[in-house]
């Protein structure tokens, strides 16, 4: 796989994962609906910063494993593949039929509090680190320095997330309404489940 092929494949997969609703989506939508677009934007920036921290940790950790032990990297690879397949089957067999955006009155906290909230939402969620370690190695071309390229992928994912959050903030009401539609939520979960299964299988059988 060339660098261009890796970037294109990652962009397609990460794009679908970005629009699949989760905790980050709920946080930004709630901030936009209750607190206003400025605070929602700060929450989105905080989320992006948290993802960059996890991306840097994943990039450095994977690079160290590649340099230290091929066996250790293979163990991590198989563990990551199993994790992605498990997530994929779960989303295919038991897709959600609702997505709770959240509600409530304005908090009255300072705008920067939403930046901190977005940052901590990611930093205190180890699933993001596990996901990055499981997902990003699949797009590492042979002969490419692992740490900077994996961090580049994490940066692309963050950029996609910020663009998507901007769309969410600009169209909070219609998008929030769509995400409450059972058919939409089920379709997104099943499509993402297929992505997880496909890339989990690819990661498991790829030879380095």
pLDDT tens digits, one per residue of 12-43 = 888 888 887 777 887 888 788 777 889 889 99
- Is 20 among the domain residues? no
What's the domain range around 169? 39-99+116-205
Neighbours of 57 (CB within 10 A): 16
162 band by pLDDT with thresholds 50, 70 and 90: very high
Question: Is 9 within the bounds of a domain?
Answer: no
pLDDT digits (tens, 9 = 90+) for 38-75: 988 999 999 999 999 988 988 888 777 766 776 766 67
For range 178-185, the mean pLDDT: 74
Structurally, the chain folds into a number of domains equal to 1
For residue 67, the model assigns a pLDDT of 65
Q: Is 4 helix (H, G, I), strand (E, B) or coil?
A: helix
Buried/exposed code over 148-165 (b: 16+ C-beta within 10 A; e: otherwise):
ebbbbbbbbbbebbbebb
Q: At 7, is the secondary structure helix, strand, or coil?
A: helix
CA 120, 174, 9 angle in degrees (round to 5)?
60
**Segment 118-129, tens digit of pLDDT:** 898 788 777 777
Q: Is 0.75 surpassed by the pTM of this model? A: no
Where are the alpha helices (H) located in the chain, listed in sequence order? 3-19, 23-30, 37-68, 70-93, 111-123, 126-135, 146-170, 172-179, 182-205
The better pLDDT of the pair 134, 19 is held by 19
Cβ atoms of 24 and 122 closer than 8 Å: yes
CB 84 within 8 A of CB 200: yes
Question: What is the Cα–Cα distance from 125 to 93, expressed in whole angstroms?
Answer: 24
In a domain, 195, yes or no: yes
Pair of tokens at residue 169: 């903030």
Reference 189, options 20, 4, 16; nearest CA is 20
Q: With contact defined as beta carbons under 8 Å apart, do 192 and 16 qualify?
A: yes
Q: Is 133 a member of any domain? A: yes
**Residue 120 resides in a domain:** yes
Quick one: average pLDDT of 112-117? Answer: 87
For residues 128 and 91, give the distance between their C-alpha atoms in angstroms, rounded to a whole number: 17
Count of C-beta atoms within a 10 Å radius of residue 4: 9
For residue 91, which of 12, 177, 22 has the smallest C-alpha distance?
A: 22
Instruction: Say which residue, 148 or 85, is predicted with more confidence.
Output: 148
Would 143 be classed as within a structural domain? yes
Q: Is residue 8 part of a domain?
A: no
Q: What CA dihedral angle connects 122, 153, 7 and 135, to 10 degrees? A: -60
In a domain, residue 4? The reply is: no
Residues above pLDDT 90, as percent of the chain: 17
Report the sign of the C-alpha dihedral through residues 78, 79, 84, 85, in that order.
Answer: positive
């Amino acid at each position: 796989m060339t660098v261009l092929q890796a970037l294109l494949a990652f962009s397609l997969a990460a794009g679908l994962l970005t629009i699949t609703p989760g905790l980050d989506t709920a946080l930004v939508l709630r901030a936009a609906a209750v607190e206003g677009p400025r605070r929602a934007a700060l929450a989105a920036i905080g989320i992006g910063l948290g993802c960059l921290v996890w991306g840097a940790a994943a990039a450095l950790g994977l690079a160290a494993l590649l340099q230290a032990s091929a066996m250790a990297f293979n163990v991590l690879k198989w563990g990551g593949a199993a994790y992605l397949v498990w997530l994929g089957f779960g989303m295919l067999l038991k897709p959600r039929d609702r997505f709770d955006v959240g509600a409530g009155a304005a908090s009255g906290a300072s705008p920067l509090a939403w930046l901190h909230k977005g940052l901590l939402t990611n930093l205190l969620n180890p699933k993001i680190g596990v996901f990055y370690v499981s997902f990003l190695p699949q797009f590492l071309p042979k002969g490419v320095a692992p740490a900077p390229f994996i961090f580049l992928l994490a940066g692309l994912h963050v950029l996609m997330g910020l663009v998507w959050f901007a769309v969410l903030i600009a169209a909070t009401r219609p998008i929030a309404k769509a995400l409450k539609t059972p058919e939409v939520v089920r379709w997104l979960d099943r499509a993402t489940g297929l992505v997880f299964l496909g890339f989990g299988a690819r990661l498991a059988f790829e030879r380095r």
